[in-house]
Copies of this chain bind each other. A is one copy, B any other.
Amino acid sequence: MNKSIKDNIRVAIQGFSGSFHEKAAQHYFNETLSFVYCNTFSEVVKASEDSELSDGGLMAIENSIAGTILPNYQLLRNSALSIVGEVYLQIGQQLMALPGQTISDIKEIHSHHMAIKQCEEFLKKHPNIKLVETEDTALSAKKIKNEHLKGVAAIAGEQAAKIYDLEIIAPNIETVKNNFTRFLVINPEQRDNHEANKASLLFSLVHEPKSLSDVLITIGEYDFNISKIQSFPIIEQEWSYYFVVDIEFDEIKELYNLIEELKHKTSSLRLLGSYKKGITI
């Protein structure tokens, strides 16, 4: 990340103040940040590429329940950005309202439809509360604060409760507790990182049956720890697909050896980035 001594790092994220993206970025950089709030992941990628606007970005790539956000790999593939870091965030959904209220005072709950869906079991116990779908979890919290809405609660992360002075009236109401999201830190420049012990590779295969078997054996023989492997078939072109592999290594030289070998067995190959393996927060 480029920064002068006095300026904050400017990080492009999807969403608003108080969002899970903001929380993940704050933990990753562990310093005061300026945020470039974007409406879509496509805008995050554009803002991350533009050094006038930002010093890079942070973008969700997969969730332990919903799976890979495939379009975000497409966005990375079509950009010149590199993955320079990652962070895993446990997603907890909190029910929050203006202080002094209890669940029996609540007539409406506002949140993004994904958050509402994640809290279905809790919400079933309160069938008389009206559910209102909104654009963003944190934005729902902000609205309650700004418009001083009594009888209305929002489902959002705890960071939103702090920012908007709301009280958590029912904590961790998500149905499935094991809910983690992985975020990638993206930057126009891939710097040499001596701490790098993980890499993401994206490649496509030649139009031949069994070409994947050959590649699997090649990767397997390198004895890396493989933390992710996923094919994205291009369905109308038989035997043509993209392939993402995340590997963990001790020596970066071994990674480069694998890349050299795979070049002859793939129709395109790109190192999306090498970076330090992320922690879970």
Contact = CB atoms under 8 A, between A and B. Distances in A.
Interface of A: 64-71, 88, 90, 113, 133, 178, 180, 182, 209-210, 212-217, 219-236, 239, 280
A30 B175 CA distance: 39
Contacts of A113: 113
A-side interface mostly: mixed
A57 to B, nearest CB: 21
A220 B216 CA distance: 6
A60 to B, nearest CB: 13
A210 B71 CA distance: 29
Given A216-B216, A220-B217, A224-B213, A233 B64 contact: yes
B213 A221 contact: yes
Nearest to A213: B220
A224 B231 CA distance: 15
B233 A230 contact: no
A280 B236 contact: yes
A71 B64 contact: no
A215 B213 CA distance: 12
Contacts of A232: 64, 67
A212 to B, nearest CB: 5
Given A213-B221, A216-B217, A235 B180 contact: yes
Contact of A223 (B133, B213, B280): B213
A69 to B, nearest CB: 8
A88 B227 CA distance: 29
B70 A235 contact: no
A219 to B, nearest CB: 6
